[in-house]
Amino acid sequence: MPYVPGKPVEELERELGIKDAIKIASNENPLGPSPLAEKAVKEAVSSLNRYPDGDAFYLKEKLARKFGISPETLIFGNGSNDVIDIAARTFMEPGDEAIFGEYAFIVYPIVTQAVGAKGVISPMPDYTHDLRDMYSRITEKTKIIFIANPNNPTGTMVKRAEFEWFLEKVPEDILVLMDEAYFEYVEDKDYPNSLEYQNSGKSILTVRTFSKIYGLAGLRLGYGIAHQDIISNMQRVRQPFNANSLCQVGAMAAIDDIEHIEKTKEVNSEGLTYVTEELKKLDIPYTPSFTNFVLIDLGDNPMPIYNSLLKEGVIVRPVLGYGLKTHLRVTIGLREENEKFIRGITKILGK
Ligand SMILES: Cc1ncc(COP(=O)(O)O)c(C=O)c1O
């Protein structure tokens, strides 16, 4: 099944002849890009005749300093999707197996299938990865275990004790791909930041992105961190200029924009509290979220409500492709966007 992105605002407004539609469908940063990144990108536009630095030297140095790691342990991608794809192409071939959760991020089955490997699905009770079950599914053919922490579209996270149990057990030659696209949003002290386990002797690939908290989804930049042997193998598979020149300067500026990051966290935390309080009042079950979105369960085919929300000018995300047949995923937006969503759903449900 191909990846189905969220509906663009312009498309909805054109189709329904409405104005002021909002898109809370793709887990983007509602505050916009970091203003420092915007400025840096504008200044770099005049050099677009030049190829980018294929090695992203300055960005690599900067991120390496930020995390206290060696630059050789870093790889960039055209979004973290690209890093995930490079990992699949580097470490799997037809006949191999990859393990992922039944409601895990949909790119894992896509990249697994693309290389002719077999996807082994682990059930997700309570919509959370079950690392004991994932461990039990390992065979000699297993090459990659994909774990989104926190996971999209469920918003759930694996906690430290379970992760440490798993890491202790997992064979050293299996790549444990920790997809941490939303880690900056996590406030829970029990979150196992996979960077802290890079020296455990296990093959951990930490994957992160500039698309979420940094607000640079349109620029496309993600990165992977792992032992340099893992990274050097991946470097041979990636396209030479997969991190373009604008995303490199944009990301460097965004890293320094602490104010924007802090503000984003604050807006998200307040918004998540507001939306979940209102969902409780409306008796709509939701999965407790550690991210910038929330999975709601409407108990029935969600498409009529999704379509009615569109008419109210609110784009959320159906998640049928994940086998979540009664759910919608709602990204936390600005205060007025969250209110518009709550007003819309209240009206539609006749509450
Ligand atoms: C869990 C997870 N990983 C990775 C990505 C990919 O993000 P990008 O390719 O924009 O870095 C997303 C985007 O929605 C995601 O939810």
Task: Give the number of other Cβ atoms within 10 Å of residue 338's Cβ.
Answer: 23
* Ligand 1 pocket test, candidate residues 26, 27, 80, most atoms within 8 A of CB: 80
Strand order of the β-sheet with 204-209 is: 74-77, 222-225, 204-209, 175-179, 142-148, 97-101, 118-122
Nearest CA to ligand 1 atom 13: 181
Task: Give the number of other Cβ atoms within 10 Å of residue 268's Cβ.
Answer: 26
Is ligand 1 within 6 A of the CB of residue 27?
A: yes
What is the torsional sign of CA 150, 153, 156, 161?
Answer: negative
Phi-psi region of 350 (alpha: psi -120 to 50; beta: other; left: phi over 0): left
CATH homologous superfamily of 9-33+259-348 equals Aspartate Aminotransferase, domain 1 (3.90.1150.10)
pLDDT band (50, 70, 90) for residue 1: low
- Residue 234 identity (one-letter amino acid): M
Looking from the CA of residue 211, the nearest atom of ligand 1 is: 10
Nearest CA to ligand 1 atom 2: 181
324 CA from centroid of ligand 1 (Å): 19
- Mean pLDDT value of segment 6-26: 88
pLDDT of residue 2 exceeding 80, the answer is: no
Q: Where are the domains of the chain?
A: 9-33+259-348, 35-256
Average pLDDT, the chain: 96
- The CATH number of the structural domain formed by 35-256 is 3.40.640.10
Domains 9-33+259-348 and 35-256 share a fold: no
Tens digit of each residue's pLDDT (9 = 90 or more) over 53-93: 999 999 999 999 999 999 999 999 999 999 999 999 999 99
φ/ψ of residue 111, rounded to 5:
-70, -30
pLDDT for 136 equals 98
Looking from the CA of residue 80, the nearest atom of ligand 1 is: 11
- Residue 205 identity (one-letter amino acid): L
Report whether 91 contacts 137 (CB < 8 A): no
Is ligand 1 within 6 A of the CB of residue 105?
A: yes
- Mean pLDDT value of segment 267-292: 98
